[in-house]
Structure 1
Amino acid sequence: MSYEPSRPAGRLLLTPQDKDAPARVRRLRLLGLGERSEPAFDAFADRLAHVAAAPYAMVNFIDERQQFFAGLHTPDGPARSGHAAPGDGSGFEARRYMARDHGFCPHVVVRRKALVLEDVCDYPRFAGNPVVDAFGVRSYLGAPLLDRGGIALGTICVVDVEPRPWGRAGLETIKAMAAELAEQLERREEVHGI
C-alpha cells in the first residue's frame, strides 16, 4: 500500500492514498449521499453514541478532498451545519466538513476494515493527526460502510477525548452497526431503483 504525506517532513502522520475515491464519489452521487445531512443519519449517530457510551459519533462519507458528516452526534446536542477551520475553537459541534487528512476515517475507508485506537497517542502514525491537537481526540473506533459491490462508501465511528478500552465488544458493536447501516443504504438503492 502506498501513502502520500499530508504533513511536513518529520511528522509521522501519513494519509493513505485512496485510489478508489473516484468510484466511491460516483457511487455516492448516484445514491444521493455525501452532500447534505439527513435526520435519519443524525438519529443513527445518536443511537451509535448511546450504544457505545461515547460523546461523539458520526456517519461519514468521504470524497477525494474532504469528509462529510451526514450524521453527527455531539455532547452538546444537534450539530449545526457549516464549515469550520481546525483549531478555531468550534470543534466537531460546528462542522459537517473536515479535510481528508484529518481524523482516522480515511484510513478505515482505504483499509476496508475496522480500526480500534484505544489511545491514539500510543500510535506514532496517528498521534500527529490534526484532530488530536485541534479537538483533543484521544480514542477512536470506526468501521467501513461497504456496499454490496465492495466499495467503501464511508464510515461510522465513535470518538472520545479520553483514552477508551473499546475491547472486542466495542469492535463487534461497531462492525454490526456498520453492517446494519450498509443494509439500510442498500434498501435505499432498491427503493430508488438504482
Structure 2
Amino acid sequence: MTYDPTGRLLLTPVDREASVRAQRLRRLGLGQHPDPVFDAFARRLAEATGAPYSLVNFIDENRQFFAGLHTPAGTHSGSDLSAVAAACGINRVMARDHGYCPHVVARRKALVLEDVCDYPRFAGNPVVDEIGIRSYLGAPLIDRTDTALGAVCVVDTVPRQWGLAGLATIKAAAAELVAQIHHREDGGI
C-alpha cells in the first residue's frame, strides 16, 4: 500500500508484476486499442448482472485501459457514468490509482463491494467522488502464463446486492474471457 503526505491510506496496492504484465499484454496485442469483441463481451456481462456499466480492463505499469466498455446507450445526463468520466478525462484510459481493478489484479482474487462507502479503504477512491461509483464487482483475468492481465468488472452508481450469484457470474465471465484470449493467441479469431 502507498500513503499520501497527510497519512491517509491510498487505494492503489503495490503491483510487483506490472512490468511482466505489460510485456505479456504487448505480446498479446492487448491494452492499447478498443476492441469490438471486448465491447460486446462487456455488454453481455452488463446484461447478465443487471449492471449499467461493465469493463474489460487491462492494466500496465502506468494506467488502466478499457479495451471493452459498456455504458447505458443514449444517456448523457449528469448521472451517466460515461459522460462524467469523459468530463474527468477518463474515457477508455484511467489512472492506476483510480478504481478497484488494480486491487483485483494485485490480489489476484475477485472483489465484491456492494457499497464502497461501507469500506473506508475503498470509500476514498477518486472514482467515488469524481464519477459516482457506489458498487463494484470484479474478477482477475489470469492467463496460462499465470499473469494477471487485468480484470473484468461491473459497476453501478447505487449500492447493489451482488451476492454469491454475482460473484459466481463475474468469476465465470473472467474464465470465459481468458479462454477467448487464449484462443486468439493460438491463432483463432
Same fold? TM cut 0.5: yes
- Count, aligned residues: 180
C-alpha displacement of 1:11: 2.5
In structure 1, what is the equivalent of residue 59 of structure 2?
62
In structure 2, what is the equivalent of residue 186 of structure 1?
182
8 Å contact from structure 1 (residues 13, 127) kept in 2? no
2:29 to 27, 32, 49: 32
Q: Could you say what the CA RMSD is over the residues aligned between the two structures, in angstroms?
A: 1.9
1: distance between equivalents of 2:74 and 2:146? 33
SS in 2 for 1:14: coil
Are 2:114 and 1:118 aligned?
yes
C-alpha displacement of 1:92: 5.8
1:163 to 159, 166, 178: 159
Are 2:138 and 1:142 aligned?
yes
Larger displacement relative to structure 2 (69-78 or 159-168): 69-78
* One-letter amino acid of the counterpart of residue 47, structure 1: R
C-alpha displacement of 1:149: 1.7
In structure 2, what is the equivalent of residue 128 of structure 1?
124
In structure 1, what is the equivalent of residue 79 of structure 2?
none
C-alpha displacement of 1:152: 0.3
TM-score, normalized by length of structure 2? 0.90
1: distance between equivalents of 2:160 and 2:70? 18
SS in 2 for 1:144: strand
C-alpha displacement of 1:13: 2.5
Deviations 1:70-118 (A, max 9, x none): 000011359xxxxxxxxxx632696000000000000000001000000
Larger displacement relative to structure 2 (133-142 or 183-192): 183-192
1: distance between equivalents of 2:86 and 2:100? 14
TM-score, normalized by length of structure 1? 0.88
1: distance between equivalents of 2:72 and 2:5? 33
Kindly tell me: are residues 145 and 62 of structure 1, through their superposed partners in 2, closer, same or farther at Cα, counting changes over 3 Å?
same
Higher strand share: 1
1: distance between equivalents of 2:122 and 2:71? 22
